[in-house]
Amino acid sequence: MTSEQFQTHVKEQIALLNEGKPLEAFDRYFASDGIMFANGLVFATGAKACREKQEPYIASARSIDGRILDLVISPEKSVCAFRNRTSFTTHEGKTFRIDGVCWQRWQDDKIIEEHYFEGEEMHKMIHRGILKSPQNFV
């Protein structure tokens, strides 16, 4: 994957997330053998398990207002990081806002490793510079 292809794929993923289409972004860009972490712990391994864990939350949404901020791309290491401030409204009318930082490592046009940080862990990672130099977290 060239630097230009990598950047294009990341930006296409972000566009889908901003359009409120997280499952479409996942299906298009997450590797079948990818792994997800949440605050440093394994969340799920493999696309099937990762999707199954996320799907109930997304299915409960009547609407999703994607809001991805502070995207930074390091093409030389095939990594990126961004802030996710997406909100979603449930079928019952309750609105929730996500507040986290996502770091991804890509390989062969797919996300092979994703780390999601929220709460205190997110603030620690921001302080350490994840949204300025994501390549330092490889």
What's the pLDDT tens digit per position in 39-53?
A: 999 999 999 999 999
d(CA 70, CA 61): 24
Out of 71-75, 77-81, 133-137, least confident range: 133-137
d(CA 62, CA 121): 29
Query: Reduced to 3 states, what is the DSSP secondary structure of residue 93?
Result: coil
Look-up: residue for tokens 């996320």?
A: 54
Domains detected in the chain? 3-136 (3.10.450.50)
Check: CB of residue 110 under 8 Å from CB of residue 29.
yes
Tokens representing 70 are 């502070």
d(CA 100, CA 48): 23
**pTM of the full predicted structure?**
0.94
Percentage of residues in the chain with pLDDT exceeding 90? 91
